[in-house]
């Protein structure tokens, strides 16, 4: 609902007034508190689950996790770490119980977690280790330790002095570490040290740093978003508040953990589960075995990114081949969607038993709740799966800089095409973007967020902090939103040209375009990505001066216009672009999968370039909408 009479600024209708929610339970003001609450609820009940191939899940109890966290934290203190938020500890590992235990060990003694992950790349990893002055990294495998030692051997990470490993490792690794001044120790040794020097917890305060979460970044170096315990508590509490009365997390609930713990989305899911004494089961670490893990675990809670829901949708639709079965499926979906429109969500209808039972069984047959976030999801896919899966499916929107979420679907509103209403911890307003013709008075503009979940800024980066946070504390997201009549928010554009693909990867099109213009036949290129799609496509203007000669070298002859329409030429140009892209170090998701060759140069006169010769991206997208849609229609989501 509007705040202080400003229709462009909204808050949750669940609030009594403009006072934002900072906690839900009186005793949960920090991430540490939230786990302690779950410990009180569950005690010796199961907390963290893991499995070996072909075996059932094994469980570590809340009591055991709490004890191990205190022991590990005490061991870190015995190694010289300090029990305060200025002590940064990096975790560089796949999702597994030890990740969470290491995180809780830090929180038990008010230390700050700095996650690392594989896709950061060498240069970014070095930047993070130096910026955060990391001396100790907890990692899972010897291969990761070797990559960290390589940096140390080159002299580019001078503060690194200790690596703690979950898995067994070779004596050669120990020797290599010794030679460059890095101690390599097994987790068991730190635990034993902790048992011998057990310390009482030093719990954090709400204003203390909990995490420095580095965004992968697509231009420039990664930015370290500083997230406090209060940020985490308010964001988690707001989701609990939203679900009040419609979905209560129970001790019997279980979530499947496969989304990276290095990102805030998965961390917030787990904090929500821990707060209620519920369980978290980890996948085996191999995404190809995820469905087997799900069938074994039978989760009630399933956090997803749109790309996975797209795959589930494609698999369901693709498996129905006969016209009769397709007609039955479509009719059953319509009947379930009619129930949804009246607020009924269930999995025990006639259509569930006749049509959807097998689909639901493939996801364990026990789902109560699915949350999709990270990128927008197609309304068609969302509506279809809400009908077929027979459980609550919510959509959220946010970013690392507001801890995780700032808007969330409201229970009972099962319409699609929006990302819900503001969470109780934050207010959301839209700000004019005149250059893109978006105005707050029309219910459109850049999405800005203020409240208890907004981060404290970027670590040691005042310039980029000032770009993100204005003087009044508003976080400028760079996304363009539109208020819908029912008070929900729709994401309609991107103020900055950086965008997300459906799997959550950030893409900077201008960086990619600069690479592709190095190709001999390419004069101009426009790289386009759709947040509902998993790949990029391109509009390419070949260089009129060299195109015919280049094509001749490929064994193809014709006029400029003829060559632009020739499928073989199109294929050859695409291959050349991808080769240049690979040589330049573009990641696979940064490479275009299809192109359209256009025979007319982008210019100021035809409205596709600005007076400073920059691409008018909105106009190019509009002019080539038909070609863009055609290219995406040839390949699946």
**Is 231 in the same domain as 274?**
yes
**Is 523 in the same domain as 575?**
yes
The pLDDT value given to residue 637: 47
**Is 354 in the same domain as 486?**
yes
**Is 104 in the same domain as 245?**
yes
**Is 44 in the same domain as 73?**
yes
Range of the domain at 570: 500-633
Closest by CA position to 411, among listed 16, 38, 12, 25: 12
Contacts of residue 367, Cβ cutoff 8 Å, sequence gap at least 6: 299, 300, 301, 302, 360, 389, 390, 391
Mean pLDDT per 10-residue segment, the chain (637 residues):
77 94 96 98 98 97 99 98 98 98 99 91 90 98 97 97 98 98 98 98 99 74 95 98 93 97 95 98 94 97 88 85 92 94 91 94 96 84 94 95 96 92 98 84 96 98 96 94 94 76 82 86 93 92 92 94 96 96 90 96 82 74 94 74
Q: What is the largest CA-CA distance in the chain?
A: 81
d(C-alpha 360, C-alpha 219), whole Å:
41
Single residue among 280, 297, 314 that ends a domain in this structure: 297
The pLDDT value given to residue 509: 87
The contacts found for 327-331 with CB under 8 angstroms, 24 or more apart, are: 328/355, 329/355
Query: Which tokens hold the place of 579?
Result: 């080769």
**Is 316 in the same domain as 443?**
yes
Q: How many CA atoms lie within 13 A of 65 on its CB side?
A: 33
The answer to whether position 489 is within a domain reads yes
d(C-alpha 109, C-alpha 200), whole Å:
9
Write the DSSP string, 441-461.
GGTEEEEEEEETTS---BTT-
The pLDDT value given to residue 57: 99
Query: Which tokens hold the place of 280?
Result: 């978290």
Q: CA torsion sign, 242 to 246 to 247 to 252?
A: positive
Pairing verdict, β 421-422 and 407-408: antiparallel
d(C-alpha 334, C-alpha 631), whole Å:
29
Question: What are the beta bridge partners of residue 449?
Answer: 428, 475
d(C-alpha 46, C-alpha 151), whole Å:
39
Closest by CA position to 366, among listed 355, 374, 353, 357: 357
User: Residue 277: which region, alpha, beta or left (left: phi > 0; alpha: psi -120 to 50)?
Assistant: left
The pLDDT value given to residue 610: 62
**Is 467 in the same domain as 523?**
no
The answer to whether position 237 is within a domain reads yes
Residue pointed to by tokens 């999405």: 447
The answer to whether position 529 is within a domain reads yes
Closest by CA position to 92, among listed 177, 163, 171, 188: 163
**Is 81 in the same domain as 104?**
yes
**Is 382 in the same domain as 516?**
no
Query: Which tokens hold the place of 290?
Result: 């995820």
**Is 237 in the same domain as 280?**
yes
**Is 538 in the same domain as 591?**
yes
User: Residue 365: which region, alpha, beta or left (left: phi > 0; alpha: psi -120 to 50)?
Assistant: left
Q: Domain containing 614 — which CATH number?
A: 3.30.300.30
The answer to whether position 71 is within a domain reads yes
Q: In the chain, how many domains are there?
A: 3
Q: Domain containing 46 — which CATH number?
A: 3.40.50.12780
Q: For residues 197 and 220, is the Cβ–Cβ distance under 8 A?
A: no
Which letter does DSSP use for residue 530 in this model? Answer: -
What pTM did the predictor assign?
Answer: 0.82
The pLDDT value given to residue 220: 62
The answer to whether position 13 is within a domain reads no
Single residue among 463, 496, 529 that ends a domain in this structure: 496
**Is 198 in the same domain as 283?**
yes
Give Rg (Cα) of the chain.
26
The answer to whether position 2 is within a domain reads no
């Amino acid at each position: 609902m509007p705040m202080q009479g400003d229709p462009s600024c909204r808050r949750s209708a669940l609030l009594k007034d403009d006072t934002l929610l900072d906690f839900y339970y009186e005793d949960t003001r920090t991430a540490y508190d939230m786990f302690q609450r779950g410990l009180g609820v569950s005690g010796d009940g199961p907390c963290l689950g893991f499995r070996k191939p072909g075996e059932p899940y094994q469980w570590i109890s809340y009591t055991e996790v709490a004890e191990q966290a205190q022991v590990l934290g005490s061991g870190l203190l015995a190694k010289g770490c300090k029990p305060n938020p200025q002590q940064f500890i990096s975790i560089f590992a796949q999702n597994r119980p030890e990740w969470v235990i290491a995180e809780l060990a830090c929180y038990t003694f008010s230390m700050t977690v700095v996650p690392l992950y594989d896709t950061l790349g060498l240069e970014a990893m070095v930047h993070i280790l130096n910026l955060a002055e990391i001396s100790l990294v907890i990692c899972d495998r010897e291969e990761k330790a070797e990559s960290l030692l390589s940096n140390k051997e080159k002299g580019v990470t001078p503060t690194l002095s200790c690596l703690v490993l979950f898995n067994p490792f070779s004596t050669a690794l120990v020797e290599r570490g010794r030679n460059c001044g890095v101690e390599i120790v097994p987790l068991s040794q730190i635990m034993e040290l902790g048992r011998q020097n057990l310390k009482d917890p030093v719990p954090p305060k709400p204003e203390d740093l909990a995490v420095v979460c580095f965004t992968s970044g697509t231009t420039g170096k990664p930015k370290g978003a500083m997230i406090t315990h209060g940020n985490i508590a308010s964001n988690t509490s707001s989701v609990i508040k939203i679900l009040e009365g419609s979905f209560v997390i129970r001790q019997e609930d279980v979530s499947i953990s496969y989304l990276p713990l290095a990102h805030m989305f998965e961390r917030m899911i787990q904090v929500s589960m821990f707060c209620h004494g519920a369980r978290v089961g980890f996948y085996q670490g191999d995404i190809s075995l995820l469905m087997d893990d799900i069938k074994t675990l039978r989760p009630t809670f399933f956090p997803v990114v749109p790309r996975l829901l797209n795959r589930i949708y494609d698999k369901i639709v693709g498996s129905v081949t006969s016209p009769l079965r397709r007609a039955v499926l479509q009719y059953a979906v319509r009947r379930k969607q009619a129930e949804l429109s009246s607020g009924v969500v269930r999995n025990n209808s006639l259509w569930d038993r006749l049509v959807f039972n097998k689909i639901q069984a493939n996801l364990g047959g026990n789902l109560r709740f699915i949350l999709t976030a990270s990128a927008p999801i197609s309304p068609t896919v969302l509506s279809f799966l809400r009908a077929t899966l027979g459980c609550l499916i919510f959509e959220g929107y946010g970013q690392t800089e507001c801890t995780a979420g700032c808007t969330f679907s409201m229970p009972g509103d099962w319409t699609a095409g929006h990302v819900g209403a503001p969470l109780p911890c934050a207010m959301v307003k839209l700000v004019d973007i005149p250059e893109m013709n978006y105005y707050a008075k029309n219910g459109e503009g850049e999405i800005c967020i203020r409240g208890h979940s907004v981060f404290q800024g970027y670590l040691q980066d005042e310039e980029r902090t000032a770009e993100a946070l204005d003087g009044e504390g508003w976080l400028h997201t760079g996304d363009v939103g539109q208020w819908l009549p029912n008070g929900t928010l729709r994401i309609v554009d991107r103020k900055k040209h950086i965008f997300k693909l459906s799997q959550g990867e950030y893409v900077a099109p201008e960086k990619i375009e600069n690479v592709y213009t190095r190709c001999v036949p390419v004069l101009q290129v426009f790289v386009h990505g759709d947040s509902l799609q998993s790949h990029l496509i391109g509009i390419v203007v070949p260089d009129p001066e060299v195109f015919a000669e280049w094509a001749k070298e490929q064994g193809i002859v014709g006029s400029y216009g003829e060559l632009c329409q020739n499928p073989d030429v199109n294929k050859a140009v695409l291959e050349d672009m991808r080769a240049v892209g690979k040589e330049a170090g573009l990641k696979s998701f940064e490479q275009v999968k299809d192109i359209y060759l256009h025979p007319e140069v982008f210019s100021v006169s035809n409205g596709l370039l600005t007076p400073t010769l920059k691409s008018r991206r909105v106009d190019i997208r509009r002019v080539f909408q038909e070609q863009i849609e055609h290219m995406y229609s040839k390949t699946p989501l």
